[in-house]
Amino acid sequence: MLKGAFSIWNRDMLVLRRSIFSEFLAVIASPLTFYLAFGFGLRGYIANVEGVSYPVFMAPGLITMTAVTAAFDESAWSMWFHRKVQRTIEAYRVTPITVYDIVVGKIISGFTQGALKGLTVAVVIFLLTSFPFKIGYLAAYLTFIVFGSMIFSCLGTVCGTVLDKPETIGKVQAVIIMPLIFMSGIFFPVSSYPAAARPYVMALPTTALFEGARRALLAGTVDLAYLVLLAGTAVIAFAVAVVVFNRKIEE
């Protein structure tokens, strides 16, 4: 069971090894720029946020952002490249590999790359600042990262499956993915929103991801409402990815 999925995952990891340095350098550049520019540049102008300094408040969000956007990028571009350029997906169809194997394999690949790149950013941030990291809080934090990476991997798989033009994937990232991430409290607490807008923001799965992950990493607490919302969204995203890919491959 899932032997085909792990074969796909293993292939993607071999490809990653060939360009691992440039891949990681490109991925950590953006969150570290945000951290240095806002975390260090504005900390003298911003008082503590929710009981912690501003750089510490930002750090969990930037690490989480790195993990989930890497998961989306890997799934979307890998699926598109294998479908439109290398025709690897067509090759899979003449093997015992099933549709579920392909989708699960891409999701695991996206999660693995997201976790590795998020960990790299975390190590750099922890070295740059006196982040109050406690090893006992890591399990709770990773629970949110697992569900978040699964959701973004599924979204990437859907985009890489249905979008034929690569520039369209970039537009989806710019118009949908990044606004959803930035609206979810990376740089400011969700309580800053007007009261009328707050319920809508709180209902976003990305808010459950970033707020829940921050509380888990800084305080070791797990908000069950956030976790249930994330888990439910992950299940729905997986079902949608399987259905969309299955229909596309039958065309």
Residue 207 has pLDDT above 90, yes or no: yes
Would the pLDDT of 129 be above 80? no
Return the structure tokens found at 228.
């249930």
For residues 217-224, give the mean pLDDT. 88
C-alpha Rg value of the chain to the nearest Å: 18
Q: Is residue 180 classed as helix, strand or coil in its secondary structure?
A: helix
Select from 149, 156, 158 the least CA-distant residue to 206.
149
Tell me the pLDDT band of 249, cut-offs 50, 70 and 90. Answer: confident
Structure confidence by residue, pLDDT tens digits, 75-103: 888 888 877 787 777 777 677 777 778 87
Average pLDDT over residues 187-199: 88
Task: State mean pLDDT over 63-69.
Answer: 88
- 226-246 pLDDT, tens per residue? 999 999 999 999 899 888 888
The residue assigned the tokens 């025709």 is 87
The residue-averaged pLDDT of 59-80 equals 87
Give me the chain's average pLDDT, please.
84
- Rounded to an integer, what is the distance from CA 226 to the centroid of its chain? 16
Averaged pLDDT for residues 104-121: 82
Name the region of 97 (left: φ>0; alpha: ψ -120 to 50; beta: rest).
Answer: beta
Tell me the two tokens of residue 65.
């952002």
**Residue 1 has what pLDDT?**
55
The residue length of the chain stands at: 251
What is the Cα–Cα distance from 213 to 230, expressed in whole angstroms? 11
Give the CA diameter of the chain: 61
Query: Residue 22: how many CB atoms within 10 A of its CB?
Result: 9
Residue 205 has a pLDDT of 92
Mean pLDDT of 144-149: 89
